[in-house]
């Protein structure tokens, strides 16, 4: 499947980094096509314009961003933790 959101938008799920795949699969809102759950279900049929659709999309993206930020902290390439590679930038 091709990802339609986030950092790896437009890329095949299989081609994304392993840590990203594992993280995605752990998210309640992300399920592979056959077992969709609430957030993704709400996106079905979204014409790209309704406010509700946009809000759902934003929620997914914000959640993803905060998780990616955490990952950056964990592997030490963030700018928010003392000792991170980009600390102070």
According to CB under 5 A, which residues from 34 to 63 bind Zn ion?
Answer: none
Q: Measured between alpha carbons, how far is 37 from 51 in angstroms, rounded to an integer?
A: 20
**Min. distance of Cβ 84 from Zn ion in angstroms?**
5
Q: Measured between alpha carbons, how far is 16 from 40 in angstroms, rounded to an integer?
A: 19
Task: Candidates 23-31, 35-43, 58-66, 71-79: pick the segment binding Zn ion (CB under 5 A).
Answer: 71-79
**Min. distance of Cβ 87 from Zn ion in angstroms?**
8
**N- to C-terminal Cα separation, the chain:** 36
Q: Which residues bind Zn ion (CB under 5 A)?
A: 73, 78, 80-81
């Amino acid at each position: 499947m091709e990802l339609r959101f986030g950092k790896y938008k437009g890329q095949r799920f299989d081609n994304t980094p392993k840590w990203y795949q594992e993280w995605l699969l752990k998210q309640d809102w992300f399920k592979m096509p056959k077992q969709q759950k609430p957030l993704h279900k709400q996106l079905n049929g979204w014409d790209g314009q309704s406010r509700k659709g946009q809000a759902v999309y934003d929620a997914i993206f914000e959640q993803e961003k905060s998780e990616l930020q955490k990952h950056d902290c964990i592997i030490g390439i963030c700018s928010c933790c003392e000792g991170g590679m980009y600390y102070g930038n």
